[in-house]
Amino acid sequence: MIGAGAVGASIAAELHRAGADTVLVARGAQLAALREHGLTYVRPDGTHRLRIPVVAGPDEVELTGTDVLVLATKTPDTAAAVRDWAWQPVKRADGGTGVAATDLPLVTLQNGLDNERTALRSFAHVIGGVVWIPATFVVPGEVVNHAVPVPAVLFLGRYPAGADALTERVAAGLRPGGITVHVVPDITAHKAAKLLGNLVNTLDALYRPSTLRDAVLASLRAEAATVYAAAGIVPATPDHTGFDAVDIPGYARAGNSTRQSVTRATLPETDFLDGEIVLLGRLHGVPTPNTAAIQARLHRALAEGTPAASLDDADLRATVPGLD
């Protein structure tokens, strides 16, 4: 599991608890905390303290032909992770040596539409993923997952399209962790649908909830819908029936992943969420002024050290005028 944040640590924790051979790849304060104390994994059914094997990178791992690489970093880190792992040696069953880029599948459990294209430049077997998991990572060594009745819901599909035996094998390997996994033939459509949902992320990272914020979100999704139509992208309509999040006493929700990144003072995914819509708009001649304004406001907030979710309607009105 490459990336030990909310998604990566939660999936790894569930697989580890189910007895699967799992290795977490972490860095910085998270790596130090996991090595010293293990993972504190908080679920609605209680707190689990887990000693999941953890490494800093590919030099500490001996890959074999039965391994699966799961990429759960934030999107800004994808290119570096692909570069680090693609050309690592893989010990084959016949005693020969291959490389990860040709011998192993890479599963992308990330937001946005860009990760799979980046991975496919190096990896021959890319399985795109959409992950639904209301997990929080703001304290090194601790991840809180509020999901019920299952810990996560995944949609997997061969990239750019299709569902094959390899994808089914990967899905089968994830299900013992209690994870609901759907194999779909149109993973790009599912990722496009998730991106529409993710357009709340930067707003949530910047602004307190309000009626105006809701109106701005509706305008961002309207711009995205126009962009999708111009680009020929038809988003899927995934079914999340029966999947929910509950409060866990003592562990307040910390917002979505972008807000958590701002809280931790790490680079968020905004350029691959709002920025993806802006990019597609520019490529297809569709103006996206409101989305571009929110993207720019996030970067100014980062430069100024603005606390997460601290801005008000007056700032939002100045950033995106004319919606109230």
Q: Are residues 172 and 264 in the same domain?
A: no
Q: Are residues 167 and 235 in the same domain?
A: no
Q: Are residues 179 and 212 in the same domain?
A: no
Domain range holding 255? 195-324
Q: Are residues 177 and 277 in the same domain?
A: no
**CATH label of the domain that carries residue 248:** 1.10.1040
Q: How many domains does the chain have?
A: 2
Q: Are residues 150 and 243 in the same domain?
A: no
pLDDT interval class at 242 (50, 70, 90): confident
Exposure string for 211-226, b = 16+ CB within 10 A, e = fewer: ebbeebbebbbebbeb
Residues with Cβ within 8 Å of 273's Cβ and at least 6 positions away in sequence, in order, are 111, 112, 195, 198, 199, 201, 202, 258
Last residue of a domain, one of 185, 203, 226: 185
Last residue of a domain, one of 185, 211, 228: 185
AA letter at 318: A
> Is 240 part of any domain?
yes
Last residue of a domain, one of 150, 185, 220: 185
> Is 298 part of any domain?
yes
pLDDT digits (tens, 9 = 90+) for 152-183: 999 999 999 999 999 999 999 999 999 999 99
> Is 209 part of any domain?
yes
> Is 91 part of any domain?
yes
Q: Are residues 178 and 230 in the same domain?
A: no
Position 324 pLDDT exceeds 80: no
Q: Are residues 165 and 228 in the same domain?
A: no
Locate 131 and state its tokens: 């992950």
Mean pLDDT of 247-251: 95
Q: Are residues 74 and 106 in the same domain?
A: yes
| Interior angle at CA 301, CA 298 and CA 303, nearest 5 | 110
pLDDT digits (tens, 9 = 90+) for 272-311: 999 999 999 999 999 999 999 999 999 999 999 999 999 9
**CATH label of the domain that carries residue 148:** 3.40.50.720
> Is 295 part of any domain?
yes
Query: Closest by alpha carbon to 84, among 66, 54, 112, 63?
Result: 63
Q: Are residues 227 and 144 in the same domain?
A: no
Instruction: Note the helical H segments in the chain.
Output: 6-17, 28-37, 78-86, 100-103, 115-120, 165-174, 187-198, 200-206, 211-231, 257-263, 274-284, 289-304, 313-319
Place of tokens 């569902």: 163
Position 109 pLDDT exceeds 90: yes
User: What is this structure's pTM?
Assistant: 0.95
pLDDT digits (tens, 9 = 90+) for 28-86: 999 999 999 999 999 999 999 999 999 999 999 999 999 999 999 999 999 999 999 99
> Is 190 part of any domain?
no
> Is 155 part of any domain?
yes
CA 284 – CA 228 distance, rounded (Å): 9
> Is 83 part of any domain?
yes
